[in-house]
Structure 1
Amino acid sequence: MKNLFITGGSGLLGSKFEYLAGDRYDITVTHHKNPVPNSISFNITDEKDVLEKISALNPDLVVHSAAMTNVDYCEDHPDEAWKLNVTGTENIARACEKTGSKLIYVSTDFVFDGERGMYREEDETSPLGHYALTKLKGEEVIQKYDVNYAVARVSVLYGWHHRMNFVTWVIDELKNGRNINIVTDQYNSPTLADNAAEAILKLFELDKTGIYHTAGGERVNRFDFAVNIADVFELDPNLINSIESTNFVQKAKRPKDSSLDINKIERDTGMKMMGTVEGLEYMKKIME
């Protein structure tokens, strides 16, 4: 049985691999500050810790999903974000080079400036904020090493998890009868974490390399996404107020349209990347 090593195992995406493929692979998940059942402590910024633990397990695949993802926090704490997202990623790549492990690095749609949307893998990157810059530098740093790698860019990950994401937050707010303000002028490709994890496993199984937009199969703005959530979970859409992003104060700049073209991942793996209604219906089904 092949051995998978998942960084960020307590996060939304990292938590899906054991659930989806624990019967097919020997999976080791890691945590740093938030332990989960059967996870091991792992500090990606500690080069010695990274090398020792990856070398000891000698995994066939390392999925590097651990990252500092709070966009505004990264803007306020640039050195901390760089240490985790860039230096930490380099430590992982260096260890994978030593063990010969395949590396799949989880990146983001925010590497683009959002001026036009539906970006393809070969399009020019232009990060607007520090979080996006560190994730792009992470993509670049793994290419310095002699490692079999793929980059999986995701967008607005959602799904069931013990920590809130956009979908679970909207569900909670609407269930409690609270009004919410959602922007109409920010477009993404919302990605069901379970679907992204399956696509990442396919990239490994088919030994694909290079950059893949491993995102949802629909370009949608945040407001329409929220309305879809209300519809699927039979909640009141009248509680959702539409606003423009100029009325919503955020520390870091966000791309207006960072939607991703997913033709390559679907073509090369045979995967179906779900649109929002399909993804939300999957969430509802596994909840029941």
Structure 2
Amino acid sequence: MGSKIFMAGVGGMLGEAFHHTFSQSHEIVCTDKDVNAPWLSFLDFRDREEYARQVLAMKPDYLFHIGAHTSLEYCEDDIADAYATNTLPVENAVWLANRLDIPLLYISTAGIFDGAQETYDDWDQPNPLGHYARSKYMGERFVVENAARYLVCRAGWMMGAGPDKDKKFIQKLMAQLKAGAKELKVVDDKLGTPTYTRDFAAQVKVLVEQELWGLYNMVCAGVTSRLEVAQYLVKALGKDSEIAVSPVSSDYFAQEYFAPRPPSERLLTAKLDLRGVNVMRDWRVCLDEYLADKYQGYLG
């Protein structure tokens, strides 16, 4: 396994896990346009020339292209920027990786499926519904069709990094509880698979070390729903007797979350399982660990 990794777009919740997982064993350069940690340096990877300059200067053994606009609503509101950020830089990353003859890591998403099926394995055909999903899927396709060696890893409902960087479901619920909410309204018509960022990064490390290139569904074990995750969270916090979790349909949040979302984003880790390399744990185990690691004292 090579010693040098260039990581682009690692200022967010997933980037925290990649830095944690790889910093002890590799020489890494971690970049983002939001320099919010001492281990980050500035790079807006939408700047093709500067992206190339920094990567070619390092001459890494691997290129990890991590960042993206992940707000579905933002991508519907600013379609041009969605593709300028989520798709075009991926094409540049493929060119760089091929020029250096190194493997490329690209992060895709369960959201590229339309939800017509209840579950999706690694070989099911994506059919993105909105511009976030489409911009990510076009990036995935370009990598698969053009990169000489690659890992495309599809994540599910992400959780990790704690209150400062987690912008997703768990932190949104925790913020409501911190604000004193006694009731959480949660949709009962959205199915999926949580993904703990630390497990995700650890799984990438396994695949890189064994050079098992290809496309993988990469989510925690245990297909579930938004409602079940919220119910488990409240119970794990020991607050199920004082906090009500009330099911609502997606229509309840239609104004706030107007971007199209599939009814099911449940991924199956068929390829990881068949290759005998799956280190992704059950989402409940991961959520317990996440709460213990990042939310001690958060609720007072």
When normalised by structure 1's length, the TM-score is: 0.94
| Correspondence for 2:21 | 20
Report matched runs for 1:161-172 at 5 Å. Answer: 161=162, 162-163=164-165, 164-172=167-175
Which runs of 5 or more structure 2 residues have no equivalent in the other structure?
Answer: none
Q: Are 1:248 and 2:249 matched, yes or no?
A: no
Q: Partners of 1:188 and 1:144 in 2: how far apart? A: 27
Q: For the Cα contact (< 8 Å) 2:35–2:42, is it kept in 1? A: no
SS at match of 1:151: strand
Q: Deviations over 1:21-76 (max 9, x none)?
A: 32111121111134321212112111111111111111112221100110011011
Q: Partners of 1:107 and 1:146 in 2: how far apart? A: 15
| Correspondence for 1:45 | 46
Q: Are 1:136 and 2:143 matched, yes or no?
A: no
Q: Partners of 1:69 and 1:100 in 2: how far apart? A: 29
SS at match of 2:138: helix
Q: Are 1:219 and 2:223 matched, yes or no?
A: yes
| Correspondence for 2:37 | 36
SS at match of 1:123: coil
Report matched runs for 1:66-145 at 5 Å. Answer: 66-145=67-146
Aligned residues: 288
| Correspondence for 1:188 | 192
Q: Partners of 1:71 and 1:260 in 2: how far apart? A: 19
Q: For the Cα contact (< 8 Å) 1:2–1:26, is it kept in 2? A: yes
| Correspondence for 2:286 | 279
Higher mean alpha-carbon deviation, 229-238 vs 186-195, is at 229-238
Q: 1:261 aligns with which of 248, 253, 268?
A: 268
Q: Are 1:63 and 2:57 matched, yes or no?
A: no
SS at match of 1:265: helix
Higher mean alpha-carbon deviation, 203-212 vs 183-192, is at 203-212
Aligned Cα root-mean-square deviation (Å): 1.7
Q: For the Cα contact (< 8 Å) 2:35–2:41, is it kept in 1? A: no
Q: Partners of 1:269 and 1:160 in 2: how far apart? A: 28
Shift of 1:156: 1.0
Q: Partners of 2:108 and 2:287 in 1: how far apart? A: 23
| Correspondence for 1:173 | 176
Q: For the Cα contact (< 8 Å) 1:175–1:235, is it kept in 2? A: no
Which amino acid counterpart does residue 141 of structure 1 have in structure 2?
A: F
Q: Partners of 1:45 and 1:175 in 2: how far apart? A: 36
Q: For the Cα contact (< 8 Å) 2:114–2:128, is it kept in 1? A: yes
Shift of 1:144: 4.4
Question: Post-superposition, which runs of at least 4 consecutive aligned residues in structure 1 deviate over 6 A?
Answer: none
| Correspondence for 2:211 | 207
Which runs of 5 or more structure 1 residues have no equivalent in the other structure?
Answer: none
Shift of 1:236: 3.5
Q: Partners of 2:272 and 2:292 in 1: how far apart? A: 25
Q: Are 1:270 and 2:270 matched, yes or no?
A: no
Q: Deviations over 1:73-107 (max 9, x none)?
A: 10111100001111111111111111122111000
SS at match of 1:15: helix
| Correspondence for 1:230 | 234
